[in-house]
Amino acid sequence: MTHEDYQKAAEHWANVDATSAKMDPERLLVSIQTYIQDNNTCALATGYDGFIRCTPIEYSFHNGAFYLLSEGGLKFKALEQNKNVCLAIFDKYEGFGKLKGLQIMGTAEIIEPFSKEYVDHAAYKKIPLAALKKLPEPMNLIKIIPTEYDFLNSDFKQDGLSPRQSFIVK
């Protein structure tokens, strides 16, 4: 591919979105939040410089943020250098007429072990604090604050809308 071919491919959705039928933002946000709550596993993409990592991981969503508990791993190598992340939640592919997937761009922060927010999350997950304190090393809690959602949902076409909808968090 030439540089121009890459540019054309990169601009594809911006061009399509410019004229597509949009969903009411409040209704879209409810649809996004429902999809998030209906699932619990995502792919977390992290990276910096030439290092890239994509980690399948369980999440919880509350208080407008994603929370991911992790023992550790190479994702932290990237998170130390670059707080910008992307999450992907998606259904099994069953054909173009049944597409459902959500891409979330956001910023990550590491929550201090046993801080109020950490303890609150453990309570939300119904994880006994005593069990967490018995671990040889504290579990890491990654908090991701969404900045933008791109939702692909073939069901939107039934309402005359584009199957791809974007929502920027303000």
The per-residue pLDDT for 97 is 86
The per-residue pLDDT for 76 is 97
pLDDT less than 50: residues of the chain? none
The per-residue pLDDT for 96 is 82
Model pTM score: 0.93
| DSSP 8-class letter at 146 | E
Domains of the chain from N-terminus onward: 23-168 (2.30.110.10)
Give CA 100 to chain center in angstroms: 14
Total Cβ atoms within 10 A of residue 68: 21
